[in-house]
Structure 1
Amino acid sequence: MTEVLTQIVLVIGASTELSILAKATTILVLALLALWMSRRVPASVRSLVLASTFGILFVLPIAAVVTPPVALKVGTSDIRSEITGLSAGIGHGRDEHPVPPSSDRSASSARNRSPVSIRLLLMTAWATGAVLFLAPVIETARRLRRMRRSARRWLNQETLVRTLSREAGLHRHVVVLLHDDLLVPFTYGVLRPTILMPADAQNWTNAEIRQAVIHELEHVRRSDWPLHVLARVVCALYWFHPLVWRAWRCFCLESERACDDAVVRSAEGIAYAEQLVSLARRLSRCAPAPVLSMANRGDLAARVAAVLDTTQARGRVGMLGRGATLVIAVALVACISPLKATSGTSALARAQAPAQNTSSVAFEQASVMPHTPGKPRGIPPLIDGRFTAGDSTLRELVRIAYGDPFTRFEFQVIGGPAWVDSDRFDIEAQVGSGLNIGASWHPRVVAMLRTLLADRFKLEVLSETRQLPMADLVLANSDRKLGAGLRRSAGNCIDLLAGPLPNPSEPQPDRWCGFKFSGPSVLTGQKVSMAALAGGLSNRPEVDRVVRDRTGLEGAFDFHVEFTSDARSASNASSTRGANASPISPALLTALETQLGLRLEAKQGPVDVLVIRHAEKPTEK
């Protein structure tokens, strides 16, 4: 059960939208719980809590996007069982051992495309709902402006309004208007607050007029109109969330109760309750009243009960209370908005699995030696079950062992002592006679490599998520037409390379598959998926960032692209790339668009990284 919850939390943390929704739900639950626990406190306090809640919900998505994420580590299983990426050649700009793509590229492409389609569908549904729920708010504002223009000033009561405004501590000019189409009083306006009264209010008693004006002036003093408009906008943004609508109903009720308390402080409760019932009776024969009307049928019973309850606490919130609420709200946004759930259990490469499992993922024999000059660089296919990795740094080996080279790159492996980039090693190992495969990037082989790194280098790594420059690989043409240098290929690298090697005594077929870098400004690929192409571009110094496949193209492709190389050098330390990535080479951008029909869109986003927590130089064995 705990593992299931952990995986749910990690899924939520991996999605910006789900993360915002989870945080909003947490805020709403806390607010409604606080409301339930403070049933006997003044309505003004409860209303302030709800107003702050809607303010937090409004700011939360913006803050979650613009603030750097803070990793909230949660326990999960060892990364060795989670990262099933495959190893490949690690040569840079060399073509001795072309790099094969991942073993499940077609499935990966489908996975990449499907979530995008579902996400687009959900975002479209959300946007449609938001527009539909915002439309009544906009229409109400337009209707109220028309009513204001057609209303007439109630000159006989302006003196009363000024007097009551001073008593309420309100230092703004408030206009009182009469309108023939109104049935109940209500307040409207931000910069020019206006109280609109029904035309027959001229026939009300002085006490009824005074009670109505006090109620509406309290709305003006509390700035209830702009707060309610903000709350309605938030409701439109979270229209699918039932707790938001529950908070909205409570906010409307508590706002009215706070204004009722202002009336009851200077009026007789029974008389005021009778006036509320009388006004609500008018509304029973017509459409609902505008926002912030004095009477509302839905909450009438609760308001009358509160007015007649002599034990109910009443009063306004002072400056200290408002300031404290603002500080708490800002602190809550600052604390919760950047949180992002990530895998927190030590994703250690130290082999600590049970003995029966360790033996199944370990090389039969292995030697790790300092690099001998002259030995070839890279990881060639297995020959007679022998695994070799020549002229490789530990950072390169970690990247191979803990992720597909087309989805994890050297600048995503950070930390560690200086020698992990400077010292180079030669590894020779025997995978065992029972594993009859030719591909050195087979999952079993890279699992053995992880065990070797844990044993000989005492390696420990952690998985984290950081904000880094990235890019999306998309189609450049709206008609989805591919460029002349990009064409579909028959077959795939998996079928070609994953099986046993052919008999050495027989003529060798052309088993070249993957990427070939023929010079600094020529890229060639055979039987590669779009995800693999995106990964290959990520390793180029001209791109210098993670590239995600967003083309939606399935299957394998052959490609050839030439461009004018700039002054960048692949010798830049991979561990310093990523966070300080240079802009993408304009020459490469132009070549991709004109020759392949593809485009790179640069952006900033969350990127998974591996942090080397501990590593020791190996003893020679």
Structure 2
Amino acid sequence: MLLALALSIVVPSSLGQSGSSAPAVNAAGRLPVYDVVAIKPNKSGSGSLDVEEHIDIYNAKNITVKSLLEEAYGVREDLISGVPGPIGSAHFDVMAKIVDPDASAIRKLTGRQRGSMLLPILIERFQLKAHTETRILPVFELVVISNGPKFKHSADQKGQDTGTSIQGSDRGVQLTAHGINMTSLASSLEGQVHRPVIDKTGLAGNYDVAMKWSSDTVPSSEANAGPSIFTALQEQLGLKLKAAKGPVETLVVDHVEMPSEN
């Protein structure tokens, strides 16, 4: 990925110039704001990350700046550049609270909007300045193979995605989705193949899909003996991930500092 970034074609976003905050900052101004924020260094050396989020609370233990940026901007960590080494390797405990929350309004927020609520924290406490850039990078195109697709339309075509679950264990990984469209399915696959996935299926409407594949993070065993995600897509769904290059939105950090402590 680093090599791909070095060789990529860069198109600066008209919405985010160097030294300015990315577009999501504007959206954050209309969102609930955390009134009380506490940030402390986490020097435990633990590799685990614990994030707890409720109506009025965001509590992250052992989180990195890149993980915060990923939540705030909806951009995967491998598409974020410009974070200096010492800050990039540091871990923090971030505790934020809304003093008088409007519970009904907060429940209506999407996951993307909840993530954007972290932007004021990054700007005020980490002195963040960043912008987006569209780069031509390796991607996967999700396409239908000759004898596909091997799944059916959802019974409810009026509703949106009613639930997507990806669960992993020593027996492999399973994806189950009801009422999902192909754009959302492509997005769900991105975290599994670590590359942007673009829907090129040409399939409209909502579908019910289910597939299983072997985990690449669990040592190979008889319990985990199954097809790769690429093979599973073809055999179980009649779809294929085709390697290509395409425009991908990345986040470039122009300035970030160690946060001020309480």
TM-score computed with the length of structure 1 as normaliser: 0.34
1:426 aligns with 2:90: no
Distance in 2, matches of 1:378 and 1:362, equals 22
User: Radius of gyration: which is bigger?
Assistant: 1
Cα distance in structure 2, aligned partners of 1:410 and 1:440 = 23
Identity %: 26
C-alpha deviation, 1:426, in angstroms: 2.5
Whether the 8 Å CA contact 1:487–1:559 is kept in 2: the answer is: no
Cα contact 2:213–2:228 (8 A) shared by 1 = no
Name the SS for the 2:228 alignment partner. helix
In structure 2, the CA distance between the partners of 1:468 and 1:519, relative to structure 1 (3 Å rule), is: farther
The yes-or-no answer on 1:450 pairing with 2:104 is no
**Cα pair distance change 1:470/1:446, threshold 3 Å:** same
Aligned CA-pair RMSD: 3.8
Q: Provide, for residues 352-404 of structure 1, a one-character-per-residue CA deviation record: whole Å limited to 9, x for no partner.
A: 98xxx959652122222234758973544524x2222333211111111112x
- The structure richer in strand per residue is 2
Q: How does 1:356-505 map to 2 (within 5 A)?
A: 361-371=32-42, 377-383=49-55, 385-403=56-74, 408-431=75-98, 432-436=100-104, 437-438=106-107, 441-442=110-111, 444-478=113-147, 480-482=148-150, 488=154, 492=160
Residues 1:530 and 2:178 are matched in the alignment: no
Q: Distance in 1 between matches of 2:23 and 2:244?
A: 35
CA distances 1:257-305 after superposition (whole Å, capped 9, x unpaired): xxxxxxxxxxxxxxxxxxxxxxxxxxxxxxxxxxxxxxxxxxxxxxxxx
Contact kept in structure 2, 1:413 and 1:612, CA below 8 Å? yes
Q: Distance in 2 between matches of 1:609 and 1:592?
A: 27
Matches within 5 A, 1:31-430: 69-71=9-11, 73=12, 75-76=14-15, 343-344=16-17, 346-348=19-21, 361-371=32-42, 377-383=49-55, 385-403=56-74, 408-430=75-97
One-letter amino acid of the counterpart of residue 54, structure 2: L
Residues 399 and 351 from structure 1, CA distance in 2 versus in 1: closer, same or farther, beyond 3 angstroms?
A: closer
Alignment match, 1:284 = none
**1:594 maps to which residue?**
235
Q: Letter of the 1:427 partner, please give it.
A: V
Distance 2:251 2:13 in 1: 16
- Distance change in 2, residues 1:425/1:367 (3 Å): same
Instruction: Report the CA distance shift for 1:560/1:489 in structure 2 as closer, same or farther (over 3 A).
Output: farther
- How far did 1:412 drift? 1.1
Q: TM-score normalized by structure 2? A: 0.73
How far apart are residue 427 of structure 1 and its match? 2.1
Alpha-carbon spacing, 1:344–1:533, altered in 2? closer, same or farther (3 Å): same
Contact 1:393/1:425 (8 A) holds in 2: yes
SS in 1 for 2:116: helix
* SS state at 2:188 partner: helix
Residue 560 (structure 1) aligns with: 211
Q: Would the alpha carbon gap of residues 68 and 349 (structure 1) be closer, same or farther in structure 2, given more than 3 Å must change?
A: closer
Cα distance change, pair 345–611 in 1 and its aligned pair in 2 (3 A): closer
Instruction: Give the structure 1 partner of residue 166 of structure 2.
Output: 515
For the Cα contact (< 8 Å) 1:464–1:611, is it kept in 2?
A: yes
Question: In the alignment, which residue of structure 1 is the partner of 2:249?
Answer: 608
Q: Deviations over 1:303-334 (max 9, x none)?
A: xxxxxxxxxxxxxxxxxxxxxxxxxxxxxxxx
Structure 2 CA distance for partners of 1:74 and 1:587, relative to 1, 3 Å:
closer
Q: Distance in 2 between matches of 1:351 and 1:492?
A: 24
- How many residues of Structure 1 are paired with residues of Structure 2 in the alignment? 241
Residue 88 of structure 1 aligns with which residue? none
Q: CA deviation at 1:606?
A: 2.3
What amino acid maps onto 2:130 in structure 1? V
Segments of 5+ residues of structure 1 without an aligned counterpart are 1-66, 77-342, 497-511, 569-585
Residue aligning to 1:37: none
- Note if contact 1:371-1:390 (Cα within 8 Å) is conserved in structure 2: yes
Change (3 A) 1:560 1:75: closer
Higher fraction of helix? 1
Cα distance change of structure 1 residues 413 and 616 upon mapping to structure 2, 3 Å threshold: same
- 1:545 aligned onto 2:195: yes
User: In the TM superposition, what is the alpha-carbon distance from 1:547 to its structure 2 partner?
Assistant: 0.9
Q: Structure 1 residues 524, 531: closer, same or farther in 2, change over 3 A?
A: same
Q: CA deviation at 1:593?
A: 0.4
- Work out whether residues 349 and 453 of structure 1, in 8 Å CA contact, stay in contact via their aligned partners in 2: no
Greater length-normalized contact order (CA 8 Å, ≥ 6 residues apart): 2
Q: CA deviation at 1:548?
A: 1.1
Q: CA deviation at 1:442?
A: 4.2
Q: CA deviation at 1:417?
A: 0.8
Q: 2:3 corresponds to which residue?
A: none
- Runs of at least 5 residues in structure 2 that lack an aligned partner in the other structure: 1-6, 220-226
Contact 1:466 1:608 in 2 (8 A): yes
Per-residue CA deviation, residues 96-144 of structure 1 (Å, 9 max, x unaligned), is: xxxxxxxxxxxxxxxxxxxxxxxxxxxxxxxxxxxxxxxxxxxxxxxxx
